[in-house]
Amino acid sequence: MAHTQPDGFLALPPAGRGGGVLVLHAWWGLNDTIKAVCTRLADAGFTAFAPDLYHGQIAQTIPEAQALGQAVDARFLQTGAEVADAAAFLSERAGQAGRGLAVIGFSLGAFYALDLSASAPELVHSVVLFYGTGEADFSRARAAYLGHFAENDPYEPQAGVDALEESLKRAGRPVTFYRYSGTGHWFFEPDRPDAYDPSAASLAWERTLAFLKRPITA
């Protein structure tokens, strides 16, 4: 049974089909920054899809983002189901059925990326986190994990990042976490001029593409 495209943004590579990458937005919503990430992934040969977990709403201010993020987290089981549905759609669209997907999660989206890798291990072979963490039982996970974290981040204290790294290692998962000196939360997002760090963002992107293009082993 074919999956209908959920609310979201789909970007296709020049060849029309490529490895699937699910992009999970930050608490701002599915804004132009996240759409641009999908387009850049498509330019690199991937089929990228970002589900709209806010269904049309976009936050411009931190209070707006907090309200939208809290509403999504309050129904996290439903949100998790929407993420899984988006993954199933993308797997089918990218021709990746049975081979798994990569998932990139930004901040709020990182929690759901981690959750998907733990709850549906057959769907996810790679996870990229941008300044976001989460707790899950990773004992069944099959993914490799890459993380980009800020040096100065009140939203993601170092202790939480270290705890996630140790949890993944205890589960026997390949994990590489980078800390970017002098950066804060949202350092990758050019529409956050008070936080955006072009050099750190460029390095994180290079590392992300290299990670996504590596040979996938079972």
For the cut 80, the answer to whether the pLDDT of residue 196 exceeds it is yes
Assess contact for 88 and 4: CB atoms under 8 A: no
pLDDT at 95 over 90: no
Can you give the pLDDT at residue 15?
Answer: 82
DSSP string, 152-178: E-TTS-HHHHHHHHHHHHHTT--EEEE
Report CA-CA distances (Å) from 205 to 8, 66, 145: 22, 26, 15
Read off the pLDDT of residues 97-113 as tens digits, 9 standing for 90 and up.
557 899 999 999 999 99
- Average predicted confidence (pLDDT) for the chain: 93
Residues 10, 207, 169, 120: what is their CA dihedral angle, to the nearest 10 degrees?
Answer: 10
Find the mean pLDDT for residues 65-93.
93
- Fold of the 9-212 domain: Rossmann fold (3.40.50)
CB 37 within 8 A of CB 11: no
- Mapped onto helix, strand or coil, the DSSP state of residue 105 is strand
> Which pLDDT belongs to residue 9?
97
| Mean pLDDT for the stretch of residues 10-20 | 90
Q: What is the mean pLDDT of residues 65-76?
A: 93
Q: Taking the CB of residue 44, how many other CB atoms lie within 10 A of it? A: 17
Using alpha carbons only, give the angle 11, 99, 31 rounded to the nearest 5 degrees.
25
Mean pLDDT of 34-49: 97
d(CA 171, CA 91): 25
For residue range 160-192, list pLDDT tens digits in order: 999 999 999 999 999 999 999 999 999 999 999
Distance CA 190, CA 144 (A): 27
Q: Would you state the pLDDT for residue 218? A: 52
Instruction: Tell me the two tokens of residue 145.
Output: 């994990």
Show me where the domains of the chain are located: 9-212
The residue type of 211 is F
Beta bridge partners of 177: 147
The one-letter code for the residue type at 101 is L
